Amino acid sequence: MIGLTVRQMQYFEALAQTLHFGRAAKLAGVSQPALSAQIAEMEQRLNCRLFERGGKVVRMTDEALALQPRIERILTDIRDVETTARRGRPAMEGRFRLGIIPTVAPYLLPHVLPELKRHFPALQLELREAVTASLVEDSASGRLDAFIAALPLDHPGLVSEELFCDRFFLAVPSGDPAFASPPVPPESPALERLMLLEEGHCLREQALAVCGSVRPVAMASYGATSLTTLLQMVAHGLGVTLIPEMATGPASVMRDLKIVPFQEPMPQRTICMAWRRNKVRHDECVELAKIIRGLDAAVLAA
């Protein structure tokens, strides 16, 4: 009998997702040696190599690719069993896995986490920051209980509740004469210098939608992975970028950076909370969404 463990399958899932032992260990919440040892034992028990290690590159073997959908189904069933077993316990107690997109996490979490701790001291919150597509996939497969992102979300297996609207402003170099007389019309030629996040970030698509009348070929994509990086580039005069209102507080203290409004009606995004379309954790998700909606808009922008 082979005798694979649930832990080994979880580590396999993390490594298959990241293709990096360090990142997989971080995702699984263990040390890298512990994860490597369990993967090696899993390969020994299956009598086959699952991952090819070549320097910093990790590749899945054909055997691993064949096993991956089966292991994911097994782990999804196990998570469903764990979730079903929670029925009858007090709401918002124990483990809750929450995902959140990078352009919301650093601005919302400092306000949300103290409120959750105050209302639900027994809650064991596990956070994962990732782009929307990854959060949708992880929620649909049961690896997350819920996530916070921007609408629209196109997945029939998810249900969502709106949390709040977040207006868009423009971050520009403080001495730029093109923005001396705001507000900025969305068709302004100066927006040809708009810098974008890399592919996969919803803020990139939202920026393109807001400035849709500007020639896309003139928009610069530097492959930035964070809004903070883009703001630093703006402060050094390399271009301009879209900034959500919840990020304007921290950005307003940056040197050589100015925040200017768009013309009314100002563009905005709608932040939502989403989870799998089932009734097991529905009430907890609704309660969490209620707490986030209760935060004052001025607090979020601070």
41 and 63 housed in the same domain? yes
pTM for the model: 0.71
Question: Which of 86, 119, 154 is the last residue in one of the domains?
Answer: 86
171 and 248 housed in the same domain? yes
Provide the residue range defining the domain that includes 147. 93-301
Please check whether residue 152 lies inside any domain of the structure: yes
30 and 145 housed in the same domain? no
Q: Give strand pairing partners of 53.
A: 58
57 and 144 housed in the same domain? no
159 and 274 housed in the same domain? yes
Please check whether residue 1 lies inside any domain of the structure: no
* Number of folded domains that form the chain: 2
204 and 234 housed in the same domain? yes
31 and 53 housed in the same domain? yes
- CATH code assigned at 41: 1.10.10.10
Please check whether residue 69 lies inside any domain of the structure: yes
Question: Which of 86, 120, 147 is the last residue in one of the domains?
Answer: 86
126 and 31 housed in the same domain? no
242 and 122 housed in the same domain? yes
pLDDT by residue for the chain (302 residues), tens only, comes to 567 898 899 899 889 988 888 888 887 778 889 899 999 999 999 999 999 987 778 999 999 999 998 998 888 888 777 666 666 555 677 788 999 999 999 999 999 999 998 888 888 888 999 999 899 988 887 888 899 999 988 888 889 999 999 999 999 998 888 787 789 888 887 788 888 877 667 877 887 777 766 654 445 556 677 888 889 989 998 888 889 999 998 888 888 999 999 989 888 999 999 998 875 678 889 989 999 998 865 456 55
Question: Which of 65, 86, 107 is the last residue in one of the domains?
Answer: 86
pLDDT at 282 (0 to 100): 83
Please check whether residue 16 lies inside any domain of the structure: yes
Q: What is the pLDDT of residues 74-97, one digit of tens each?
A: 888 887 776 666 665 556 777 889
215 and 262 housed in the same domain? yes
Please check whether residue 176 lies inside any domain of the structure: yes
177 and 227 housed in the same domain? yes
11 and 97 housed in the same domain? no
- CATH code assigned at 261: 3.40.190.290
